Every structure is written in C-alpha cells, then in structure tokens.
Structure 1
Amino acid sequence: LEGIIAKKSSSTYAPDLRSKDWLKIKVNQRQEVIIAGFTKNEDTVKQFSSLLLAVYENGQLQYVGKVGTGFSDKLQKEMMAQFKPLITDKSPFETIPDVNKPSRFRPNPPKAKATWLKPELVCEVSFSEVTSDGVFRHPSFDGMRTDKKAKDVVRETAVDTEAIIEEKDQPEDKHAKALKPPKEKERKTLLNPKDETQVRKICGHDLKFTSLSKIYWPEDKVTKRDMFNYYYRVAEYILPYLKDRPMSLNRFPGGIHGPSFYQKNVKDKAPDWAKTFPYTTSNGEDKLYLLGTDEASLLWMASLGCIEMNPWFSRAQSPDNPDYCVIDLDPDKNTFDQVVEAAQEVRKVLDAIGVPSFPKTSGSTGIHIYIPLDSKYSYDQSQMFARIIVKLVHQQIPGYTSLERMVSKRKGKMYLDFLQNRPGATIAGPYSLRPKPGATVSMPLTWDEVKPGLTMKDFTIFNATDRLKETGDLFKGVLGKGIDLVKTIKKAQSIFDVDGE
C-alpha cells in the first residue's frame, strides 16, 4: 500500500486541478535513529544542513543515511546546543560513510562537511522505504526522543499484522511489564564528592549546584550532594510521573529541620528553557506553574531545595482530568500495622469490583493507593469514586478509621482521605524523597509487600536504587489503561450497598 486518497464527501473529481478537497496521503515508515553527526553545506547560514543517522545491527553502528528536512531555525539552535558537548574528531562508524554521495535525485549534491558526534542522542524520522544498501529514502525529521537510550536503537523490521493481532489476543498480565527490571545498568553519580560548587550540562542546559556539603538530613548525615545524586540516579523512574505535570515546589533550602515554604508561581523565577503552565485558581489567582519535563527540570527543582517532588494528578494537556484517583491513608494515633490492614481492606474492595490498584508508602506515616483513570473523568468524578471506596472500607473497620475531615472530630483515628482528588492538590510522587528523619522514599510496592512488619524506614535514600535494579518500576500500570467508571460503579452497586451518590 503506497497511500490513500482522501476527499471531501461533497466534492467531485476535477482533472488537472489541485485543491484541499482531494488529498493524496502517502504511507510512511518510522524509525528511531541515533544522531551520529551532522553536515553543513558550503555557503549555508543554517546551524546544520542534515543529520547523519545510525542504528545498531549485530552490535555494530550502521549508517542509514541523512535527514535534512523537518527543522525550524529555532529547533536547529536548540539541537546544536545538545550537539556541542558531544562533538568528536573520530567517526563513530568503522567505515566512514560518503556524506556527499550523489543519487539519482541529487546527481550533484552540494559539498558538505561532516562533524561527528558521540552516538548518544536519539531522534525519530519517517521515510518512504529502505534502499538495498540499508539507507532510508526520503527521510524527514519528526523529533528528538529523550526517552530512548542510544544503545537500545536497532533497525526495526516489519511484522505481519496477523501476528500482532494474535499477540494482542493473548491474555495480558496487567503487572508483567511493571515487574520487569530496568534494562539500563546502574547509573553513576552526577557530582563528585569534593568540589563545593559544580556545573553540569543537563539536557543541553548548564545547571549550577552549590553548597554541596550542606547537611539536609542531620540525623542521617545526608547532604545536599547526596540528594542531587539520588535524583540523577532515579531520573528514569521518577520522570514519567512528573512529565507535563504542573509542580508545587515544597522548598527546604536549609534542610529538613529548617524553614520551608510552598512555591507554585514561578513567573520571572524559572530559567528561560523551563516549560511552564499558566493556570487560574478557583480563587481567581493567576499562577505560572513549572512543568516537570526532563532531568533538567527535576534537578533544577532539587537545586531550589525541593527535597520532595509534588506533581499534579493531571497533565497540562488535560488539567481538569486526572490520570489517576488516589486514596490516602493518613494515620493519627494508629500503628503502621493498622495502616497496612486498612490498605488491604481497600484492596479487597477494589479487587471485588475488578479495579487494578497500586500501593506505595507515603514516605512519612501513611500509604497511598493509586487507581488508573487515563484522564477520562473529571476531578469531581474521581473524588466521588474515592468517596464510595473509603465509605465501604470504613464500614469494615470503623473501630480505628474515620471519614471526618476535621482532625478534632477524628478522635485519634486514621483518616481515609478521598479529598486529595481535587484540582491543584498534590502529594509526594512515587520515588520522591521525603523531608523526614531517615531520608525516606515514597516507594511503590507489590501488594504482597503490604503486610504486618512493613515500616516506612524500609525504603530510604541509601537502598532505593538497589531495590529499583531488582524490581523495576512497579507503578507503570498507574499511567496505563484507565478503569470504566460507569461499569465499575454499577458493579459496586450489585455487590455492595452503594447508593451511586
């Protein structure tokens, strides 16, 4: 199939006349590729003329052509900033490709000079076909792929549609993907152990890290440097839960026992490269939130003294529609074993109505339980659903749980908090450090781990990365397929005494 013809339903065919009523849409293939270098033609004023592309085949880097379309001037400048630290005199290919090779489409190509890069950056291109010598024909640049590692980029091969359908028809283990250990080897630290001030280029931006020996967790002798190194090492795990989300900055510039404050408005404060999100609160206040995007935004927040990361439940693309519903078990005079028992009661209710759930320690005193919604519902609908669940749980364990919002009315009982499900509310995200003695981490768990004897200090800055090497990201399902709220509530009504609210 080369392509399709699309037409406006009311239009008629007119020979030798081009219009938007009839469109020829060509089928293109897509492939992630490594940027192995760039060329610059003689007499050009552009940052570069084309990118030199590569993929791995049988462990060897193979040249697959060059791409010279799909860039704006602004994008080229941004890309060149990423290229400069990677420029090298040595070609990454065993056999240096002829970047000025003529083709039947360009028998006299302009003379271009090649500049080689260390093969670390990944982008995506679309193309019409692959030539007999493995080069992409008519490629076009589609964008950078910061989520991909260069070593994982191999030449893709087409698979028969029926084979894919057969695979999709197999029953899926909802947790299988989340339980896979990470492919990447353990990441080294970002900052050296000696210099008090260090500058590092992160995602093409120079970030300055200062006062690195300042003690942030005095009881545990954990420094500001340790915090930066932790977030650098867990970046691939935490970033999916920060990406495109407005952030509430909870700042502890003097460490966990010093003064702290929340900052939500970063107008005139954020660096030029940072992405932001304008939002008018229910009180009519105009604020400019920082968006979590990449390692640079993560480490810039940490440089402000943000010990913990507090993302919205929704993304900037759909700010009124949360990606998940959260039930927050907030103890008062309860033991942690009672928190565990309450969490298992939540699980029983959710299992009974076929709802997947994902627990994590809060890193403080409680447990958070996430339910995927896939941004299909409003905050009000999410909160309504959470309220139904906690009411059912409270009926099972009324002796030590409460639905009272006012602390004084709870009488020391554990609060089953469903009101976190509202616009702008935040809790510490998965893999976030917490400003608590012990340098604890809000750690995703398997349900088998939610049992008596579990403690908050089981997961800290000291052991979190070792755990992640073994478990991988247990929380992936939170950002996966969302529940069908209508069907779920009907099922709850058929099993429990639920009024539908």
Structure 2
Amino acid sequence: MKLMHPIANTHVQTGDEWAYEVKYDGFRCVLHWQTDRVRLVSRNDVDLTAKFPEVVDFCINNQESIKKLLPLQIDGELVILNNAFQANFMAIQKRGRLNKQETINQAAIDRPASFLAFDLLQQQGSSLTKKSYKERKKQLKKLFKLGEFEESLTRLNLFCFIPSYEDSDYLWKQVFDYKGEGIIVKRVNSLYNAGKQHGDWYKIKNWRRLSGILTFFDTKNDYFTVNIYDNDQLIEIGKCKHGVNSSELQTVKKLFTTKGEKSGVGYKLPPAICAEINTLDLIKGEVREPSINRILVNTAAEECTIDKFAVDMAMMPADVEPSKTNKIFWPKKNVTKGDMLVYLREISPYMLPFLKDRILTVIRCPDGVTEQSFYQKHLPDYAPSFITKIPTGDEYFFICDELKSLMWFANHGAIEYHTPFQTVENPNPTEIVFDLDPPDRERFSLATSAAKLLKQILDELNLVSFVKTSGNKGLQVHIPIPKDSLSYDETGVITQAIALTIEKEYPTMYTTERLKKNRNERLYLDYVQHGKDKTIVTAYSPRKTPNATVAAPLFWEEVNDELSPDLFTIKNVVERVQTYGCPFTGYFEQGEKQVLESLYKLLEME
C-alpha cells in the first residue's frame, strides 16, 4: 500500500491542532499481522520479513492477547535503538544488507531490531485511514494496553509504541539532548492520505552544523568538495550543493569558475572559502545528507580543524562555550580536554540517568590528570543559575540533572563524577553496590573471579544484578531495588553477610579487612562503602588514570579472563555502546520490579 509521508520543513508548527513525535532513523515499513502470519513490508513494497525474524517471532508469540483485533496493519519504523530518542542508522543499514539466514539469525540475537509503531491503518480487517490521527493513535494505544506490551523505547523491547507529545519545545529539547534525528509534526484531526499531497505531516531534522572549507566545484553535477584541516593536511569530509540561497550560491560558483584553476570536470581554489554545513552524521569518514547552510565570510580556513569538527558534530548545548579544547588532559594517551567534552556529550544519554536527583561530587583537574586536582561537592559562586542546587548551611550541594549542567562541569575540568546510593528526596538507598577492589591492576583477575562468585550468590537469591568496571583497578556490582524497600541499616546487614560468606569460603583470595596493610595482597570486598551519603563513581564517568579509562558498564558474559579495565577508554566507549547497546539498559525498571523476598528472609536469619 502507499504510505503517507511527511514533508520536509525548517520550522515547527505550533498550536493545539498539532501533535509531535520523534523521528527515528530506520526502515519505514508496515507490519501486516494476521493469525500465525506476520509480514514486514517496506515503503517501496520490499518484503523485509526474513531479515527481521526477532520481530516476527515476537508477534507470533504474543498474538493470543490481541487475537480479536487481527488482522492488523501497523505503520512504523524498523530500527536498532541506541536510546529512547535515537536509532542506530549504520546498524540497521548493515542488518538490511544481510542475506544468509544463519547470519541474520545471529544478528537478531546479538543486537535485535525493534518495530516502533506510530499509526494504526487497519484493525479487524477494516481500514482506519478515514479516521483522524488522534483517533488512530488512541486505537493503537488500546492495542498495546490489550496486549500488555511493554511500551518503553529501549533496545530490550522488540515492539514499541511511539508516543505523541503536546509540547514541541519539550520534545525538541529531548531530541537535541539525545542527538535524535528530528521530530515529526502531525495535525491531530488529519486523515491518512498517501504520498505528500497534504499539509498535515511535516519532518524537521536535528541538523549538526559544522564549519568546512569549499575547495573544489564540480561543474558537471554542481557539487562542492568540503575539507577540514587535520594539522597541516587538508582532508575531505564530503560533497554538497543544496541549502544556501541562490544568489549566494551563484556568487561562490562564479568565484570558482573565474578565479579557480581548471581541474578535470571542475575548478579548484586554495583553501579560503568557508561554509556552515548541515549534516545528520558522519558515516565512514563522510558527512551524511550534507547541505550548505550559509557562507562563513568572517571565518578563516585555518579555523576549520578536525578538533573543531569533532566538537561541532557533538552538538554542544548553547549555554556552554567549550574552551581550551586543545589542552592535553591525559598526556600518556595524548587525550585532550576536547576529547573529554566530546565523550561526555556523546555518552550523556546513558550517563545522565545515573546522576539524576543525586547530590554530585566531582574531581576537577583543570590542567589535566597529572597536575593539581581537587574534590568539589559545594557549588561555586560563579556557577550558572541553571544548575540545580540544594541548600546546606551557608553553601549549596548540586545536582547534575541535564546536559548543559554536565557540560558546564566538564568545561570547568570536572573529570570524575561520584554519587550517593540514594536520591536527594529519599533517605533510603535505591541500589545495593559491592566494590571489588584488588591490590593492584596486575591482579585484576581477582576482581573478575570475585564478581563471578558474587553473581552466583545473587542469582541464587533471585536478584538481577549489573556489573561495571570501576575505571581504575576493580569491578563494581550493582543490584537496583524498589523505592523504600530497604533501609541503609538493612542493606548493611545484607552486604556484610554476603561479603563474609565469600571471605569465609576463599580466605586466601578475598578479605573484608579495611586496613590495607593487613590485607596481605588479597582483594578487598568493600561492603562498608555502601552507606548513607557515601559515594561511588557513576556509570560512564571518566577516571583520573594515566590511560583515560572509564567506569564502563559490562555485559556479564564479558566478565572473564580476558577482561581488563584498560579496554574501556574515552576514545572507544561511545562506539562500544552504539555497537552493542548499553549494558545498563533497563536498570531502573528492573529496580522497581526486583523481587526481594530472599533478602527479607536473610534479614530474619541475621
């Protein structure tokens, strides 16, 4: 069937007649759901069913709950989700190119795709296209409720509901912060009309804007070659032509053809003409969907560097102006402050949930990890008003609960981020954490063996646990728990009992001895650290180590003899998360449904 397509636009329509959805980067398709038969058909009528068996299997396995509504036709997007507002374009493209069923089946296990439903076209075999968007959305919501399908948009859910929003400013902020592709604006009373001959659906893309140098004009296809400087070397990042107004564009073309040197099918000029380029992403060294936004008449070519390019592509919040980005922060690995800023910006969708509503302590290294550093847990007087502050006597604690706050601290040299186990409005812990601290990095294997022992115990207690590197020399095991389910006194009894059990079984390897001099080269099972107002390094925080390591969440199967804390650094953790997904996905949801009966019984025994 022919689908309704949004019209590209540069501004967001506002008012009560409009609703707003996230635009995801994937394969637009219709899910045809009949009893015991499911098909996925693309916008170009290509059958994608065989390429996404995990989605098909989900529907077949869950059809009983919504059987009375079949057959269905659901309009949506096949994606591989990075987070709730961003899909992984490269990953879904790669999936789409697979042909061998064995390879497809393995990919479906390694990084499953999800079908994101945003419109209901047919129910019980009857068309809903003459119903309003608002009514169709309402019926789609009812379908999810009837089927008891998990609606949350995470990589763990194969069948998700795309909600609509009334507040466009709120949604645009989320899309910007999470680096989503854009938003779709839909008229609430609109019918489903095929094609683009309507004025009811619009798409607004979340463009990254970068500075580049126009060095070559191809007269055959009207494309300009865009370059940036990598030290003294010009490197090409793509070709583009559209976007800039016609008179400005004609002036630039004329400059190339009259002043440039003829070369093949076009003309080249020395690096001088700079332009602001819109793009969606960088794919294999080339910008994606680039267009010229404007000519930068006051920008020198020397300013268009690879370092600036990285910062531009990261999309820093307007409230924070990155400074001294070339300063070396980790000399051993030649990692700069700019590298750290880009890392924190890119990892922020996965890191910020673990900072939210928690008093923050940072370690600041204004001149890098080898120079002077200091802890900071009180907000300085010069901090901007947008940072959330909590009164404490004559001073203020602070909370880092949004992107611009995180980037402000990072821009002021904050390298490490530590939080307590409770939120600011609740005295009880929201998680139980074991800190597994070997005597040195060379004996990191003690941490992996202790973590595996601990997981066995937690599995026997029917507890779902998560594990991360400390970013230094150990591992940390987290057990999220429901709100107000346990007090610190109770979690203290539990952590002590489990730690002593491990120590008793393996006294030559593990100890609960607090004094380092008495540990005799054994791993320290730190259960005392789990106390009120004590802190632990947050997930994805950089560390003040020589190798620019990160407190990296892990999949449990990665806890083996090959594991090393040096594997996870500022330079590779973002790519790791985008390739494999965040291992801590679903952490807070799991906490709310964690079953603690075994812990209550343990408390009764102590």
- TM-score range (shorter-chain normalised) is 0.5 to 0.7
For 2:505 and 2:489, how far apart are their aligned partners in 1? 25
| Aligned counterpart for 1:298 among listed residues 394, 406, 412 | 406
Shift of 1:205: 4.8
Q: Secondary structure at the match of 1:208?
A: coil
Query: Would you tell me which structure has more strand in proportion to its own residues?
Result: 2
TM-aligned CA deviation for residue 396 of structure 1: 2.5
The whole-number CA distance in structure 2 between the counterparts of 1:58 and 1:479 is: 25
**Residue identity matched to 2:598:** T
Q: Which residue of the other structure, out of 566, 572, 577, is the alignment partner of 1:468? A: 577
Determine the C-alpha separation between the residues in 2 that align with 1:209 and 1:403: 44
**Among 439, 464, 467, the residue aligned to 1:359:** 467
Give the superposition deviation at 1:407: 1.6
Query: 2:139 — aligned with what?
Result: 158
CA RMSD of aligned residues (A): 4.0
Secondary structure of 2:391's match? strand
Residues 95-134 of structure 1, C-alpha deviations (whole Å, 9 max, x = no match): xxxxxxxxxxxxxxxxxxxxxxxxxxxxxxxxxxxxxxxx
* One-letter amino acid of the structure 2 residue matched with residue 325 of structure 1: I
Percent identity between matched residues is 29
Residues 314 and 375, structure 1, Cα contact 8 Å, conserved in 2: no
> In the alignment, which residue of structure 2 is the partner of 1:329?
436
Residues 238-253 of structure 1: matches in 2 within 5 Å?
238-253=351-366
**Aligned counterparts of 1:216 and 1:228: Cα–Cα separation in 2:** 11
* Contact 2:464 2:590 survives alignment (8 Å): no
Mapping 1:410-425, distance limit 5 Å: 410-425=519-534
| Aligned counterparts, 1:33-52, within 5 A | 37=12
- Pick from 207, 210, 214 the counterpart of residue 327 of structure 2: 214
State the alpha-carbon separation in 1 of the partners of residues 350 and 469 from structure 2. 16
| Kept in 2: contact 1:35–1:51 (CA 8 A) | no
Q: Is the 8 A contact 2:22 2:85 kept in 1?
A: no
CA contact (8 A) 1:292 1:298 kept: yes
The residue number in structure 2 matching 1:167 is 148
Alignment of 1:373-388 (within 5 A): 373-376=481-484, 377-388=486-497
Task: Give yes or no for contact 2:463–2:594 (8 Å, CA) kept in 1.
Answer: no
8 Å CA contact 2:317–2:403 kept in 1: the answer is no
Summarize the alignment of residues 372-411 of structure 1 with structure 2, pairs less than 5 Å apart. Answer: 372-376=480-484, 377-411=486-520
**One-letter code aligned to 1:55:** Y
- Shift of residue 341 of structure 1? 0.4
Q: Does 1:341 align with 2:449?
A: yes
Contact 2:314 2:345 (C-alpha < 8 Å) held by counterparts: no
Give the alignment partner of residue 315 of structure 1, picking from 420, 423, 436. 423
Q: Secondary structure at the match of 1:246?
A: coil
1:187-198 → structure 2 map (5 Å cutoff) = 193=306
Cα distance between partner residues in 2 of 1:177 and 1:313: 27
> After superposition, where does 1:197-276 map in structure 2 within 5 Å?
205-266=318-379, 268-276=381-389
Which one has a larger percent helix, Structure 1 or Structure 2?
2
Q: Deviations over 1:186-219 (max 9, x none)?
A: 9679x964569x9999897521221111100001
Question: 1:477: how far off?
Answer: 3.5
Specify whether residues 52 and 275 from structure 1 end up closer, same or farther in structure 2 by C-alpha distance, changes over 3 A only. farther
Specify the code of the residue in structure 2 equivalent to 1:302. A
Alignment of 1:368 with 2:476, yes or no, is yes
Task: Provide the rounded CA distance (Å) in 2 between the counterparts of 1:58 and 1:434.
Answer: 35
- In 1, Cα distance between the equivalents of 2:525 and 2:334? 34
Secondary structure, aligned partner of 1:309: strand
CA displacement 1:62-113 (0-9 Å, x = unmatched): xxxxxxxxxxxxxxxxxxxxxxxxxxxxxxxxxxxxxxxxxxxxxxxxxxxx
Distance, in Å, in 2 between the alignment partners of 1:57 and 1:368 is 35
Mapped partners of 1:35, 1:148: distance in 2:
20
Check conservation: 2:418, 2:536, Cα contact below 8 A: yes
With a CA cutoff of 8 Å and minimum separation of 6, indicate the structure with the bigger relative contact order.
1
Q: What residue is the counterpart of 2:599 in the other structure?
A: 489
Give 1:55's match in structure 2, choosing from 20, 24, 38.
20
- Counterpart code for 2:547: G
The 3 A distance-change label for structure 1 pair 235 and 323 is same
Mapping for residues 112-191 of structure 1, pairs under 5 Å: 148=85, 154=118, 156-159=137-140, 164=145, 166-167=147-148, 176-177=156-157
Alignment counterpart, residue 434 of structure 1, candidates 501, 524, 543: 543
Pick the aligned partner of 2:587 from 474, 478, 481.
Answer: 478
Cα distance change, pair 287–231 in 1 and its aligned pair in 2 (3 A) = same
SS at match of 2:537: coil
**C-alpha distance 352-268 of structure 1, shift in aligned 2 (>3 A):** same
CA distance, structure 1, for counterparts of residue 476 and residue 146 of structure 2? 36
Confirm or deny: 8 A CA contact 2:156 2:585 kept in the other structure: no
Residue 153 (structure 1) shift: 10
Paired with 2:86 and 2:451, the residues of 1 have a C-alpha distance of 37
Question: Counterpart of 2:54?
Answer: none
Structure 1 residue matching 2:554: 3-state secondary structure = coil
What is the alpha-carbon distance in structure 2 between the residues aligned to residue 241 and residue 55 of structure 1?
27
Alignment correspondent of 1:43: none
For residues 460 and 346 of structure 2, what CA distance do their matches in structure 1 show?
38
CA distance, structure 2, for counterparts of residue 294 and residue 403 of structure 1: 37
Q: Secondary structure at the match of 1:300?
A: helix
Q: What are the superposed Cα offsets for residues 382-407 of structure 1, whole Å, 9 maximum, x if unpaired?
A: 22222222122222221121111122
- In 1: Cα distance, 2:317 partner to 2:567 partner: 36
Distance 1:474 1:149, change over 3 A: closer
Q: C-alpha distance in 2, partners of 1:484/1:35?
A: 45
The answer on whether the counterparts of 2:435 and 2:475 sit within 8 Å (CA) in structure 1 is yes
8 Å CA contact 1:207–1:300 kept in 2: the answer is: yes
Are the structure 2 counterparts of residues 355 and 222 from structure 1 closer, same or farther at C-alpha, using a change threshold of 3 Å?
same
Structure 1 residue identity aligned to 2:400: G
Structure 2 partner of 1:453? 562
* Deviating 4+ runs (over 6 angstroms): 149-153, 185-189, 198-204
Give ranges in structure 1 of 5+ residues lacking alignment. Answer: 1-33, 40-49, 60-145, 280-284
- Does the C-alpha gap of structure 1 residues 194 and 445 become closer, same or farther in structure 2, counting only changes over 3 Å? closer
What secondary structure does 2:139 align onto?
A: coil
Q: Cα–Cα, structure 1 residues 165 and 406, in superposed 2: closer, same or farther, change >3 Å?
A: farther
Is contact 2:480-2:594 (8 Å) kept? no
- Call closer, same or farther: CA 1:295–1:499 in 2, change over 3 Å: same
User: 3-state SS of the aligned residue for 1:350?
Assistant: helix
Q: Tell me if structure 2 keeps the 8 A contact 1:374–1:480.
A: no
